[in-house]
Amino acid sequence: MKYARIIDGGVVDSISYDLPYFEGGPEPGWTEVPDDVFAGFSFDGENFTGPEPTPPPRKTVLKSLV
């Protein structure tokens, strides 16, 4: 099992493979999630969506003039 802490705005803040406990009970704010969910994902109440991938940096090709 995998657990995620979801903060305000529905963003997954932290991931844990053990349910965190605090003062003898489960720590509030942690939810069981599928294995393909990671920190940075968004949660709309029903579905998790991953962050938008960032495009790779553009490469500049320099040609020498001879």
Residue 13 burial (CB count, 10 A):
13
pLDDT of residue 42: 82
**DSSP run (H or E) holding 2:** strand 2-7
Q: What is the pLDDT of residue 8?
A: 79
Q: Do 36 and 4 contact (CB within 8 A), yes or no?
A: no
pLDDT (0 to 100) of residue 14: 86
Q: Model confidence over 10-61: pLDDT tens digits?
A: 888 888 888 888 888 888 888 888 888 888 878 777 777 776 656 666 777 6
pLDDT number for residue 51: 67
Cα distances (Å, whole numbers) of residue 22 to 5, 7, 13, 52, 59: 14, 17, 18, 33, 49
Cα-only R_g, the chain: 19
pLDDT attached to residue 64: 67
